[in-house]
Every structure is written in structure tokens, then in C-alpha cells.
């Protein structure tokens, strides 16, 4: 069994949802280490952002390709990994940041909204992990971004937090199934993040409440999260089957 490598030099990192926000930052953070990054984007409107991210990865010393795919469809996920192997010959690390949020009472949630949320937050996460398990080299890493609301007692996020919750068990199960290959599988659960992903679902009052719930009276920044992802991909390899709540005390468990 190979000893896990704690460097990202020449490692191939597939990042789901890397055209902007946290996914883009993670791509740029691993680039100076000499990583080879597969920058995924979901829709044509995100392609420019993905190409900009890839250019910044290259400028920082890494290598990058861009690949568009609908991660709610298994062939899309398989195609993403095919593209990684075609470009770089292997896959070492997978980071899935893709997600979608809806905030509304359960009584107002439509079947269509339920299905869409579970497709993005649950199904896509499951099959990204499944494909990663098939493709990642021994000694590799698999990381999924979930939400700190998994440890919250709150209403209005039933279908958002509910569609993220199964990922915790997927992670425990897969991490156990991969024993013997030195592949770690973990989640990071950020607090509400200061990105365009967060604000459309919130009001001024709820934003103020979310800010007041963390130790510095502010939202989580993507810059707060990226170093922990990089840690899990390198020196944090001995963490396995865990969900890390990186949120300034917003919720604890």
C-alpha cells in the first residue's frame, strides 16, 4: 500500500462547481503547489468564469482544463472524469462544491423544487462520490461541501438542509468501503457564506441574524474555507469519514 503523499505537486484535482466563488478559489489555491486542475462548470452562462479560473490556475503555476457538465445526470459526471483522465491520465483528488439553496416554509415547497434540490444537493453528490471511488488513485482524497445548517434547529431550510443531510451518511459509508486504499472521504460544512449564492434567499433581518451568530459578527468568507479544503487534500489525510463545521461557531455539534 503506497504511503499517502502530502503534496499536491502533479496531483490531478477535479473540482465540481469551479467557475466562481469557493470552487474557483480552491482551484487557484492548489495551483501554486503544481496541481493539475479540472475546472467544472454547470451551464453555458458559467463557461466564461470557468475559463477565467483556468487561466488563473495556469498563471499561478498549475495546469488546467475546463469541462462543462450537468452533475445531476450520471453521464455528465462520468464525462467529467473521462475528461480528467483524457487530459491528465488519472484523478487524485475530487472536491465537489456544487449546491443550490431554497429558503421557504415546507408548506410552500413544490414537488418540482423538492426534486431539483435533491438532484443538485443529494443525487449529484452521491454519484460524484461514486465515480470518484472508481477513478481516484490509491492515496487520494474526496471532499464534499455541505452546510452548517445540518447542526441547526431551524425552519425554512427543510429542503435545502434536508437534501444535504444524506451526504453525511454517503461519506461515512464510502470512507469505510474504501478502507485499504488510503483514500480519505470527508465533508466541510461552512456557515452562511458571503457570496451571491447566499443573499437571494435572505432578508436584511435574516442576514443580520446570520452574522450575529458567528464569533466575529460576520458571514463565513470563502477565504475561511479554502485553506481547510487544501488541508484535507494534503496534511489532513488522516481525517476520514468526518464532517468539519468551519463556521466561526455559527453552529456546533
- Catalytic site positions: 160
Q: Which strands, in side-by-side order, build the sheet including 36-41?
A: 63-68, 36-41, 12-16, 91-96, 136-145, 184-190, 243-246
What Cα–Cα distance (Å) separates residue 240 from each residue in 10, 99, 142?
Answer: 23, 22, 10
In angstroms, rounded to a whole number, what is the distance separating the alpha carbons of residues 22 and 169? Answer: 23
In angstroms, rounded to a whole number, what is the distance separating the alpha carbons of residues 29 and 225? Answer: 11
Burial code (b: 16+ CB inside 10 Å, e: under 16) for 90-111 equals ebbbbbbbbbbbbbbeeeebee
In angstroms, rounded to a whole number, what is the distance separating the alpha carbons of residues 64 and 113? Answer: 34
Identify the helix (H) or strand (E) that includes residue 16. Answer: strand 12-16
Burial code (b: 16+ CB inside 10 Å, e: under 16) for 203-227 equals eeeeeeebbebbeeeebbbbebbbe
In angstroms, rounded to a whole number, what is the distance separating the alpha carbons of residues 56 and 53? Answer: 5
Give the residue among 2, 1, 21, 30 at the shortest CA–CA distance from 13: 30
Amino acid at each position: 500500500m503506497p504511503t499517502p503523499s502530502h503534496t499536491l505537486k502533479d496531483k490531478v484535482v477535479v473540482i465540481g462547481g469551479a467557475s466562481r466563488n469557493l470552487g474557483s478559489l480552491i482551484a487557484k489555491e492548489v495551483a501554486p503547489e503544481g496541481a493539475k486542475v479540472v475546472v467544472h462548470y454547470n451551464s453555458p452562462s458559467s463557461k466564461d468564469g470557468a475559463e477565467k479560473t483556468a487561466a488563473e490556475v495556469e498563471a499561478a503555476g498549475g495546469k488546467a482544463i475546463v469541462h462543462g457538465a450537468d452533475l445531476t445526470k450520471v453521464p455528465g459526471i462520468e464525462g467529467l472524469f473521462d475528461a480528467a483522465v483524457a487530459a491528465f491520465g488519472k484523478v487524485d483528488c475530487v472536491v465537489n462544491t456544487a449546491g443550490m439553496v431554497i429558503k421557504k416554509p415546507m408548506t410552500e415547497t413544490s414537488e418540482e423544487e423538492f426534486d431539483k434540490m435533491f438532484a443538485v444537493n443529494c443525487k449529484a453528490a452521491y454519484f460524484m462520490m461514486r465515480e470518484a471511488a472508481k477513478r481516484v488513485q490509491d492515496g487520494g482524497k474526496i471532499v464534499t461541501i455541505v452546510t452548517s445548517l445540518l447542526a441547526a434547529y431551524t425552519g425554512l431550510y427543510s429542503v435545502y438542509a434536508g437534501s444535504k443531510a444524506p451526504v453525511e451518511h454517503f461519506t461515512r459509508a464510502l470512507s469505510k468501503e474504501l478502507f485499504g486504499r488510503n483514500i480519505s472521504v470527508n465533508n466541510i460544512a461552512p456557515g452562511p457564506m458571503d457570496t451571491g449564492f447566499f443573499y437571494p434567499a435572505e432578508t436584511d433581518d435574516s442576514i443580520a441574524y446570520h452574522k450575529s451568530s458567528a464569533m466575529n459578527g460576520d458571514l463565513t468568507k470563502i477565504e475561511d474555507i479554502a485553506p481547510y479544503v487544501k488541508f484535507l487534500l494534503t496534511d489532513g489525510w488522516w481525517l476520514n469519514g468526518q464532517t468539519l463545521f468551519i463556521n466561526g461557531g455559527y453552529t456546533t455539534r
